[in-house]
């Protein structure tokens, strides 16, 4: 424990020194900060194939996904925030009296960041990019399961010319290194992505230390609502993608699939057919759609939820077992006849396990969809724009997809309602979490003119 505390103390001191008033980082023009972030994006893009290999080795996701989805998205995120570096403006405010009033957005300071193992490189980008664009310094702890890509990016950060101490990347376990960052008295802000349970601990650590600002992106149990007028083929494919993508290890996975009664049987049949066709295997085989789960702990946890579903009376339609004689491969699994009170319908599984539930009316499904402690994401499939509007407006979720799933953009904010977190990442909103707003009020009679200054200088 003392070892991790010493490492964290050293990293925080380096970040604090880099943030001190008058340091190269603080003196740097905002446009030059943007230039450095763009250079980092270029370096990541040049090394994309190698980084994708590391990501697949670390996480188990298919290399085709690492290279064609994760890496381009990472590059776009850095480039998006590079563009913001010199465009974050304050305001002038008219107030009573002879005063000039304006606001400034200033960096918070030393930002602790703790990222998960399901999208290691992408989560690094989501957190580091806005922090750097707004002039902060960073102490990041990577997930103990997946450190490789972050450590390689650390070498690229040094290579492209960021001043020493601006970005500090640590390995370590959550209960030791992560906890040390969360309760550190010289960390000004903490951003965490992970489980809701750990999110509670992060908030508590803030309250018992220095009341550091906290941004949390936590768990989910996202409803995916299929209305009877939906395009069946698209709905089946998107629901499959929304659940099974990344081995089901997504905080926003559509893990409660609500299907209107009129089309329920057909949807279940087609979903089972699609799941049985899903290619599970070596993640470096370009035909593979699903690799192994990240580690044995996650593997065992998912199998435990599958056993729970069978024990509580859900109908196992396909899968439900191990997909290979070695490794952490799980068969794509579909449960039908799932009831709202079942464990698999209430708790986040974080694996390739689809739960399909029947409903009759839109009013009913909105109520049931909202009956959860989570509120990260949701989706609705329908050809009727009025129905889409009714459902999307009624859902208590930070993101609602309509006739699509898992569509992300650096420009669009992402975050949750309720126990799925607080604050937002991405977009202009993502910058808010890394700045303080300062109000400056000056008496207009308190200054001497430029001419008076020059005269005064000559007299001296």
Q: What is the CATH number of the domain that holds 152?
A: 3.40.605.10
* Domain membership of residue 201 as a residue range: 1-218
- In contact, 444 and 224? CB cutoff 8 Å: no
Buried b (16+ CB within 10 A) or exposed e, 142-180: bbebbbbbbebbbebbeebebbebbbbbbebebebbbbb
In a domain, 395, yes or no: yes
Residues 211 and 305 in one domain: no
pTM of the model: 0.95
In a domain, 413, yes or no: no
| Residue where one domain finishes, among candidates 202, 218, 234 | 218
In a domain, 448, yes or no: no
Residues of the chain with pLDDT > 70, as a percent, come to: 97
Residues 20 and 149 in one domain: yes
The tens digit of pLDDT for each residue in 34-50 reads 999 999 999 999 999 99
Length of the chain counted residue by residue:
460
Residues 292 and 170 in one domain: no
Q: How confident is the model at residue 112 (pLDDT cuts 50, 70, 90)?
A: very high
In a domain, 442, yes or no: no
User: Tokens 């009316």 sit at which residue?
Assistant: 361
In a domain, 174, yes or no: yes
Residues 129 and 270 in one domain: no
Per-residue pLDDT at 2 exceeds 60: no
In a domain, 203, yes or no: yes
Residues 250 and 351 in one domain: yes
Residues 88 and 198 in one domain: yes
| Residue where one domain finishes, among candidates 218, 247, 267 | 218
Residues 232 and 309 in one domain: yes
| Residue where one domain finishes, among candidates 384, 402, 420 | 402
Q: How confident is the model at residue 406 (pLDDT cuts 50, 70, 90)?
A: very high
Per-residue pLDDT at 447 exceeds 90: no
The tens digit of pLDDT for each residue in 224-245 reads 999 999 999 999 999 999 999 9
In a domain, 426, yes or no: no
Residues 131 and 260 in one domain: no
Residue 76 backbone dihedrals phi, psi, to 5 degrees: -60, -40
The tens digit of pLDDT for each residue in 167-205 reads 999 999 999 999 999 999 999 999 999 999 999 999 999
- In contact, 118 and 248? CB cutoff 8 Å: no
Q: How confident is the model at residue 454 (pLDDT cuts 50, 70, 90)?
A: low
Residues 184 and 233 in one domain: no
- In contact, 222 and 255? CB cutoff 8 Å: yes
The predicted pLDDT at position 446 comes to 72
HSE-CB at 192 with a 13 A cutoff on CA atoms is 28
Residues 236 and 283 in one domain: yes
In a domain, 449, yes or no: no
Active centre residues (catalytic): 217
The average pLDDT across 54-65 equals 97
CATH (domain of 255): 3.40.309.10
Residues 229 and 213 in one domain: no
Query: How many distinct structural domains can be found in the chain?
Result: 2
Q: In Å, what is the CA distance from 275 to each residue of 290, 333, 401, 429?
A: 11, 7, 22, 37
Residues 270 and 358 in one domain: yes
């Amino acid at each position: 424990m003392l070892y991790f505390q010493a490492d964290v103390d050293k990293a925080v001191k380096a970040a604090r020194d880099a943030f001190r008033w008058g340091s190269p980082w603080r003196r740097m023009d905002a446009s030059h900060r943007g230039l450095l972030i763009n250079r980092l994006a270029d370096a990541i893009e040049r090394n994309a194939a190698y980084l994708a290999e590391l990501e697949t080795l670390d996480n188990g996701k298919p290399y085709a996904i690492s290279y064609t989805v994760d890496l381009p998205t990472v590059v776009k995120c850095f480039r998006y925030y590079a563009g913001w570096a010199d465009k974050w403006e304050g305001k002038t405010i008219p107030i009573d009296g002879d005063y000039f009033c304006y606001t400034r957005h200033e960096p918070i300071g030393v930002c602790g960041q703790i990222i998960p193992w399901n999208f290691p490189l992408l989560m690094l980008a989501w957190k580091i990019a806005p922090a750097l664009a707004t002039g902060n310094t960073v102490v990041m702890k990577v997930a103990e399961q997946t450190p490789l890509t972050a450590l390689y990016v650390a070498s690229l950060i040094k290579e492209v010319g960021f001043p020493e101490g601006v970005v500090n990347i640590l390995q370590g376990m959550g209960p030791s290194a992560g906890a040390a960052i969360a309760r550190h008295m010289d960390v000004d802000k903490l951003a965490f992505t992970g489980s809701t349970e750990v999110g509670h601990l992060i908030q508590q650590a803030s309250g018992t230390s220095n009341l550091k600002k906290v941004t949390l992106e936590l768990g989910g149990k996202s409803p995916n609502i299929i209305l009877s007028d939906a395009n069946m083929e698209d709905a089946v494919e998107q629901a499959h993608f929304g659940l099974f993508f990344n081995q089901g290890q997504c905080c926003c996975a559509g893990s409660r699939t609500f299907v209107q009664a009129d089309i329920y049987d057909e949807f279940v049949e087609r979903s089972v057919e699609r799941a049985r066709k899903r290619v599970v295997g070596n993640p470096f085989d370009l035909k593979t759609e699903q690799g192994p789960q990240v580690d044995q702990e996650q593997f065992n946890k998912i199998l435990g939820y599958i056993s729970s579903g069978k024990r509580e009376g859900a109908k196992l339609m396909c899968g439900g077992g191990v997909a290979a004689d070695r490794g952490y491969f799980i068969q794509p699994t579909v449960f039908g006849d799932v009831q709202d009170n079942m464990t698999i319908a209430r708790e986040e599984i974080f694996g390739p396990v689809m739960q399909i539930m029947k409903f009759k009316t839109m009013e009913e499904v909105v109520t049931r969809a909202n009956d959860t402690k989570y509120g990260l994401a949701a989706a609705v499939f329908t050809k009727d724009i009025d129905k889409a509007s009714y459902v999307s407006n009624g859902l208590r979720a930070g993101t609602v997809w309509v006739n699509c799933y898992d569509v992300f953009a650096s420009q669009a904010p992402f975050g949750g309602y309720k126990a799925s977190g607080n604050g937002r990442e991405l977009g202009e909103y993502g910058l808010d979490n890394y700045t303080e707003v300062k109000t400056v009020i000056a008496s207009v009679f308190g200054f001497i003119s430029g001419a008076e200054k020059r005269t005064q200088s000559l007299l001296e």
